[in-house]
Structure 1
Amino acid sequence: MPAKTGRSPLLVLLIVVLVAIVAGAGFLGWQYLGTNVLADRATGQAVAELRQRWADSPTPAPAEGEPIVIDQPAAHQAAWLLRIPKLGLERPIIAGVEAQDLGRGVGWYPGTALPGQVGNFALAGYRVTNGEPFKRIFELEKGDEVIIETEHAIFTYTLTSAPGDLTVPEDASWVLDPVPGQSDVVATQAFLTLTTAEDVIDTPDRAVGFGTLTKTENR
C-alpha cells in the first residue's frame, strides 16, 4: 500500500498566517468602521432623547438675571450637548468617561465642574473609532468657540490653548484641577478642558486644550 502523505509544514504555516491576517483585518475593520456605525446610531438616539427630555421637563427656566443652576447628572446619562461651530460638530455629553460613555458621545469627567460653573468643566472624546467625535480636534485654534447647551442655558467657552499645542501623559491629572495646573489655587472663574488621544494608535499620550467661559445665555 502507498504510504500516507502528511500535510506540508509550510502549508500549515501558510494557513495559520492567512487565518491570522483575516482575523486581524476583521478586527481592524470592526474597530475603525463597525464601532463608528454603532456610535453614530447611539449618538443620534442620545441627542433626540435629551432634547425630548428637555421639552417634557416641568422645570421652569430661570428669570433673566437669576443665577443658572445646573443639576448634577445621573451617571452614564446623556446630560448636555457639545457644539463646536468650527468643526460643525454636535454631540451629546455623557456623564462619565468609561468605554460605555465614550461610545455614545463625549464624556464628562465626574467630579469636575458642571457647565458654566466656577471650576474646570472637563471633557474627553475619541479621535478614532467609536464615532470619533474629536477626529478633527487638531484643527481648533486659540480663540475658537466651544458651546455647551444645557436645559435652560447655553455656555460659550473660548479656547486659550489649542489641543494641538499640548501633549501630556495619560496620568497627568493636573489638567483636571479646578484651576488646571494650579492645584493649590481656588478657582474664581469657569474653565474648560478638552482631552483626547494624541495619536491615531493606542499610546499613553494625550492632547489637551483649555478654554474659559466668555458668554452665558438663557435658552
Structure 2
Amino acid sequence: MVRIPRFGSDYAVPLLEGTSDAVLATGYGHFRGTAEAGARGNFAVAAHRVTHGEPLRDMPSLQPGDEVVVQTARWTYTYELTTGGDDLVVPFTQTWVLDRLPTNPSGGVQPPQRPGQRLITITTCSELFHTDDRMIAFGVLTDKQPTTP
C-alpha cells in the first residue's frame, strides 16, 4: 500500500509488482529490477495520473519534505521527498531515473548522490492526456517500522 499524506488521510493505493497495464490499472507498480521497498538502492514505482483511480493526478503538488509511506506485510517504510512532483520532467525513454543511484546526465534535478542510499523514485505521465514525458520525484528513506495489523 502507498500512502501520501499530502493527498489526504484516506489516500491509500495498492502496490503491486511490475508495471504492466493490468498492474497499473490497479494502483502503483514496482519496476522489476529496482530495489525492494526499504532496501539499498532505488525503489522505483509508477502510477497513472488519469484513469484507473488517478492515483498521481496531484503529483505536481508534491513538495520536498513530503512523506511517502510504503506499507508491506512486514514493514512500513517512510520516505521523504527531496524533489517536488514536477521539478523533473523527462522523455519516457530516459531510463537513468531507474538506476540504482539515478544520476542526471544533464546535471539537473536528481536525488542526493551518496552510494548505498535507500531511495524512492515515483514516475507518472507529465501531461494529462499524452504519454511521451514523465514527471519524476525522488526521495530518501527516513524510517522503518514493523507493520501493525
SS of the counterpart of 1:138?
helix
SS of the counterpart of 2:6?
helix
Q: Which has the higher helix share?
A: 1
Q: Which has the higher strand share?
A: 2
Distance in 2 (alpha carbons) for counterparts of 1:177 and 1:187: 12
- Greater length-normalized contact order (CA 8 Å, ≥ 6 residues apart): 2
Distance in 2 (alpha carbons) for counterparts of 1:94 and 1:155: 16
Q: Deviations over 1:95-128 (max 9, x none)?
A: 0101011001111101100000000000101001
Q: For 1:11-160, list aligned pairs within 5 A.
A: 81-88=1-8, 89-160=11-82
Distance in 1 (alpha carbons) for counterparts of 2:31 and 2:100: 12
Larger Rg: 1
Amino acid at match of 1:83: R
Equivalent position of 2:110 in the other structure: none
Q: Cα 1:117–1:182, aligned 2, differ >3 Å: closer, same or farther?
A: farther
Amino acid at match of 2:96: W
The share of aligned pairs that are identical, in percent, is: 39
Equivalent position of 1:190 in the other structure: 118
SS of the counterpart of 1:100?
helix
Distance in 1 (alpha carbons) for counterparts of 2:104 and 2:49: 27
TM-score (norm 2): 0.88
Aligned residues: 138
TM-score (norm 1): 0.60
Distance in 2 (alpha carbons) for counterparts of 1:154 and 1:203: 31
Q: Cα 1:142–1:186, aligned 2, differ >3 Å: closer, same or farther?
A: closer
SS of the counterpart of 1:175?
helix
How many angstroms does 1:186 deviate by?
8.7
Structure 1 runs of 4+ aligned residues shifted over 2 Å read none
How much is the aligned-residue C-alpha RMSD, in angstroms? 1.6
